[in-house]
Copies of this chain bind each other. A is one copy, B any other.
Amino acid sequence: MARRSGRNRPPEGTLIKRISGAPFINRKLATYDILGEEGLCLIERNADQILQEVGMEFHDDPSLLEIFKEVGADVQGVRVRFEPGMCRQIIQAAAPKTFKQHARNPANTVEFGGNNTILCPSWGPPFIHNLDEGRRYATLDDFEKLVKIHHMIPHLHHSGGVVCEPVDLPANKRHLDMLYTHIRYSDRPVMGAFIGSERAMDAIEMAKIIFGEEFMLENPVLYCVSNTNAPLVMDGNMSGALKTYAKYNQPVACTPWTLAGAMSPCTVAGTLAQVLAEAMACLALVQLIKPGAPCLMGSFASTMSMQSGAPTFGTPEAAKMVLVSGQLARRLGVPLHTVGTLSSSKLPDAQSEQEATWGLLMAMLAGANLVNHATGWLEGGLVTSFEKTMIDADLCGKVASFFEGIDLSDNAQALDAIAAVGPGSHFLGSAHTQENFKDAFYMPTSADSNSFEQWLAEGEKDTAQRANEQWKSLLANYEDPGLDPGIDEALKAYIVNRKASMPDQNYF
């Protein structure tokens, strides 16, 4: 296993250093728990009742039904029903509360669980948007640029997965190019392909090349998101990846994805019970496949417009659902996976940041251990915006700084400074300010706080226009973390071989 030390310094004047030295956030502030014991027990009882009376369906893979049958679940056709408490017991008997995901650069290895939060880029959009070209289908070139840009942003901790969907490549082969691009241009942790066991196996094989087989088999190095088809279905594409990663001891985030009103009831309490039921059934599956395999309870619950049927994000209901999901995950004893700066806006404008700020802050207050889509998401996940990526990155830095909590040292108390300055004077030139000003405050990177006159002189740019310059500057100043040539060649050879063995498919 060859590893290089990272050179992760941002270019001067564009983005500042990481908030803490660690390659993830360690929250010093408590979670914001909005539901009391009684309410939590109610949601948990309801989830048990759903699993007992309605059950969950596992499509396309009879082997899963056998697994459930063996432990005494009630399996009828593809429908699996569980006795109250059964899933919870299976999960709590084996699932680890904390685990690491290794990056090829050990300095970027992240730790899941506890008060740690790991922020990831946007995931899944088939379109990109930037101010120069507007909105268009995404390509591998965009993908590479986004990986490089994110690698240069100190406030992100994970290179992510489908930062955009490179639709210029065949649908059945592009997972190889995507993983290669992450590995080649970033040395942070990565996600593996998440659709079907075959693609998941490709990620496993490539991970063996990168980390060495022995290390890979014993340590989490790939992260997988496995969504349900709410309500109460898991299909073969999702369970295939889940099964493969679980078998290889790689972390799976079991994530019911639901828009309340369409895929779950149009109420917070109803949706929460369904989300917990789905998550518990899938987490139990992970633990039955491989006891002790790392896993996370996922929560991606938002709302839809009851006027138009459109998905809506950054809503009060989504906030309530993520906060309670955090409480439920902690009671279950597994880390929480959730989502960040979601927006249905078409542009990186006021709506996009009202929704993004709301969403990321709520995820953080929920005690999320991994936040997917912490940057860039627009249009309900159809678009990765280059400019919003930069604006959200600033927000990521802001939450990291906020969750550092309050310094109560003698220096921070500053009593001598207050006495020395005295009433009616100012602190600008005081010795205390001179000694502390460099690290005193978080320095925003996308905000302009200059005077109106200076802003005029600098071209009256709005936030998106400044962000446009910023991502170009990061790209221009991209620092290649390097990749061992032997590993690079081996990865390329694997990909060439695999592609040759695959049928041609259309591009969508």
Chain A residues within CB distance 8 Å of chain B: 29-30, 32, 34-35, 39, 42, 46, 49-50, 53-57, 79, 135, 229, 231-233, 260-270, 273-274, 303-317, 319-320, 324, 344-358, 361, 365, 379-380, 382, 388, 391, 394-395, 398-399, 401-402, 404-409, 411-415, 417-419, 421-428, 430, 432-433, 436-438, 440-444, 446-452, 455, 460, 462-464, 467
**Least CB distance, A120 to chain B, in whole angstroms:** 19
The interface residues of chain A, by DSSP majority, are classed as mixed
| B residues near A50, Cβ cutoff 8 Å | 415, 418-419
| Contact A423:B55 (CB < 8 A) given known A265-B418, A350-B446, A449-B380 | yes
Q: Least Cβ distance of A160 to chain B in Å?
A: 21
Q: State how many angstroms separate the Cβ of A256 from the closest Cβ of chain B.
A: 12
How far apart are the CA atoms of A430 and B261 in the complex, in Å? Answer: 9
Complex alpha-carbon distance, A356 and B345, angstroms:
17
A460–B460 Cα distance when bound, in Å, is 22
Check if B315 sits within 8 Å of A442, measured CB to CB: yes
What's the Cα separation between A315 and B30 when bound, in Å? 19
8 closest cross-chain pairs (CB), A and B: A270-B414, A265-B414, A232-B423, A266-B440, A316-B402, A357-B357, A350-B463, A344-B449
Q: Which of B135, B305, B444 contacts A312 (CB 8 A)?
A: B444
**Which residues of the partner chain B approach A268 to less than 8 Å between Cβ atoms?**
406-407, 412
Q: In the complex, which of the residues B79, B267, B432 contacts A440, with contact meaning CB atoms closer than 8 Å?
A: B267
Are A447 and B312 in contact, CB atoms less than 8 angstroms apart?
A: yes
Nearest to A348 among chain B residues (CB) is B350
Evaluate contact between A57 and B424: CB separation under 8 angstroms.
yes
Asked whether, in the complex, the Cβ of B411 is within 8 Å of the Cβ of A267, the reply is yes
A154 vs chain B, min Cβ distance (A): 15
Question: Closest Cβ of chain B: how far from A42's Cβ, in Å?
Answer: 6
Q: How far is the CB of A328 from chain B (nearest CB, A)?
A: 13
A449 with B308: CB separation less than 8 A? yes
Q: A270-B413, A436-B266 are in contact. Are A233 and B357 (CB under 8 A)?
A: no
B57 engages A441 (CB within 8 Å): no
